[in-house]
């Protein structure tokens, strides 16, 4: 089995995983309208009891999630507003779309969020608010707390993204610098009925972490946020207004986010409609159809990207040398989301950096391919979803005068793989359920 065949199979497996994470199908699996009844998971709502229906949301997949909602509810929708990442759009009729910045929020996001706030604030006790949430929702729903500017949130976000903090830690900070995150959108909608459909992009599918949990109870505190900044030596580097707000909140001078059992969350239903596990399961089925023996490592892998890449490379080498933990032809699959600690000023994303570090680990191995891709189709601030490498990647690079170690030191994986023609460019997929990583050994 050649590297060319392995690469083709890896792309087929990736495509199968993306199809399983399709947000349109995810919503249709869990939401139905039968006559007067709106069925969401195991709950039923009588549509005739609602005077108005508002649809709001934010996330890379939220526009695609809105498509089946419009088809089911049609003219019943009073108004709607959703924030999406640039390019992640859909053809909607009753719901307004605002394209805006991700992963760093921008002015367009602020304007779109103001429209969302207007609709949610207008909702009354006999109204229904449908909230469509997916990965990316944190950056795409910027609503700075009083005393905090958008620019200060941008600066704080950039510092957190570059220090190696996990998405869980980043979102604790975001919640306490926002007027919507951490259950505060639900607080604003109360006493209306609020139903949130959620496409998960976080390990463990924790409601309070996905998009910073705008409709979920928040167990984190201002004190937790301060500890995270201290952990990464950022307390004196964030804007003074950010530090001052978190310290005031820790002293009890600012109201906390809604906690479990809060009255303003009593009319909320949160439902996970899709996750990384669905994508990984589909990848495994496709690999088996293609004749591979499969092993799913985990859908909850996190940690420093280079360390996780080294581990995957070691597994590939073990398969080649001993047939463990699975005999060839083998396909090992993992999901989750790693983090990159920036050391250089190059261009790339966590999936491209994973592939670059993995290329070093599997150097010289025959009939071995490793792929890593973000299910949203965009990896970091690039136009690529990720990259693919094999046992000859380093050798091919050297023939072109490219030093793999120099590119890794500069965090410049994008230009490395672009030169080799090994970037994965899917375009925006309109979904987002973390990452898919594949080891194929033929």
Distance from C-alpha of 278 to C-alpha of 276, rounded to nearest angstrom: 5
Which residues is 202 bridged to in the sheet? none
**What is the model's pLDDT at position 147?**
95
**What is the model's pLDDT at position 103?**
85
E strands in 4-49? 31-34, 37-40, 43-46
**What is the model's pLDDT at position 406?**
98
Joined tokens for residue 30:
């869990």
Report whether 338 contacts 365 (CB < 8 A).
Answer: no
> 3-class SS at 234?
coil
Distance from C-alpha of 214 to C-alpha of 160, rounded to nearest angstrom: 20
Residues of the chain with CATH 3.40.50.10180: 23-274
Cβ neighbours for 203, distance < 8 A, ≥ 6 positions apart: 168, 276, 299, 300, 301, 302, 336, 337, 434
CB-count burial class (<10 Å; 0-12, 13-18, 19+) for 387: buried
**What is the model's pLDDT at position 267?**
98
**What is the model's pLDDT at position 353?**
98
> What is the model's pTM?
0.85
CA atoms within 13 A on the CB side of 192: 26
Sheet containing 293-301, strands listed edge to edge, beginning at the edge strand earlier in sequence? 293-301, 330-336, 435-441, 368-374, 386-390, 423-424
**What is the model's pLDDT at position 289?**
98
E strands in 19-173? 31-34, 37-40, 43-46, 52-58, 79-85, 96-100, 127-134
CATH of domain 23-274: 3.40.50.10180
**What is the model's pLDDT at position 345?**
94
CA atoms within 13 A on the CB side of 360: 21
Give the position of tokens 């906390």.
Answer: 256
Q: Residue 368: phi, psi to the nearest 5?
A: -135, 130
Distance from C-alpha of 316 to C-alpha of 326, rounded to nearest angstrom: 10
Q: 10-residue block means of pLDDT along the chain (442 residues)?
A: 96 96 95 97 98 97 97 97 95 97 92 98 98 94 95 92 88 95 98 98 91 96 97 97 97 97 97 95 98 97 96 98 97 96 94 98 98 95 97 98 98 98 94 95 98
Instruction: Convert the pLDDT of each residue in 131-179 to its tens digit.
Output: 999 989 999 999 999 999 999 998 998 999 889 898 889 989 999 999 9
Helices (H) and strands (E) in the chain, counts: 16, 15
Radius of gyration, alpha carbons of the chain: 22
Specify the DSSP class assigned to residue 291.
T
CATH of domain 3-14+277-441: 3.40.1480.10
Dihedral angle over CA of 315, 318, 323, 324, nearest 10: -60
Specify the DSSP class assigned to residue 193.
E
How far out from the chain centre does Cα 249 lie?
28
Joined tokens for residue 186:
């639900």
Residues of the chain with CATH 3.40.1480.10: 3-14+277-441
């Amino acid at each position: 089995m050649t590297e060319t065949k392995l690469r083709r199979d890896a792309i087929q497996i990736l495509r199968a995983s993306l199809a399983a994470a399709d947000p349109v199908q995810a919503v249709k699996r869990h939401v139905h309208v039968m006559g007067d009844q709106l069925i969401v998971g195991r709950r039923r709502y009588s549509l005739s009891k609602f005077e108005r229906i508002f649809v709001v949301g934010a996330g890379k997949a939220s526009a695609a999630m809105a498509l089946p909602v419009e088809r089911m509810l049609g003219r019943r929708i009073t108004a709607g507003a959703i924030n999406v990442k640039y390019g992640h759009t859909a053809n909607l009729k009753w719901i307004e779309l605002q394209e805006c910045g991700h992963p760093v929020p921008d002015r367009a996001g602020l304007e779109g969020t103001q429209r969302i706030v207007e609709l949610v604030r207008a909702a009354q006790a006999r109204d229904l608010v449908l909230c469509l949430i997916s990965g990316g929702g944190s950056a795409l729903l910027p609503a700075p707390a009083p005393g905090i500017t958008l620019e200060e949130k941008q600066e704080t976000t950039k510092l957190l993204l570059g220090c190696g903090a996990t998405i869980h830690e980043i979102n604790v900070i975001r919640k306490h610098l926002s007027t919507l995150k951490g259950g505060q959108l639900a607080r604003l909608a109360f006493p209306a009925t609020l139903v949130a459909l959620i496409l998960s992009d976080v390990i463990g599918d924790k409601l309070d972490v996905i998009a910073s949990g705008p409709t979920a109870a928040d167990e984190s505190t201002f004190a937790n946020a301060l500890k995270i900044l201290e952990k990464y030596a950022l307390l004196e580097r964030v804007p003074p207004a950010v530090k001052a707000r978190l310290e005031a909140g820790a002293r009890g001078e600012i109201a906390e986010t809604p906690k479990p059992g809060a009255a303003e969350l009593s009319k909320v239903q949160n439902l996970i409609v899709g996750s990384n596990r669905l994508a990984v399961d589909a990848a495994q089925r496709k690999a088996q159809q293609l004749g591979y023996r499969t092993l799913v490592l985990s859908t909850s892998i996190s940690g420093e990207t280079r360390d996780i890449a080294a581990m995957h490379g070691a597994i590939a080498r073990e398969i080649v040398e001993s047939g463990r933990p699975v005999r060839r032809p083998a396909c090992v699959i993992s999901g989750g989301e790693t983090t990159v600690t920036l050391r250089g000023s190059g261009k790339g994303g966590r999936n491209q950096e994973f592939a670059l570090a993995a290329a070093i680990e599997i150097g010289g191995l025959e009939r071995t391919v490793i792929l890593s891709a973000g299910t949203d189709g965009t990896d970091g601030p690039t136009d690529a979803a990720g990259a693919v490498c094999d046992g000859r990647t380093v050798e091919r690079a050297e023939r072109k005068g490219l030093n793999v170690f120099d590119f890794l030191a500069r965090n410049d994986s994008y230009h490395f793989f672009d030169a080799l023609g090994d970037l994965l460019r899917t375009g925006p997929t309109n979904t987002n359920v973390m990452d898919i990583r594949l080891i194929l050994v033929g």
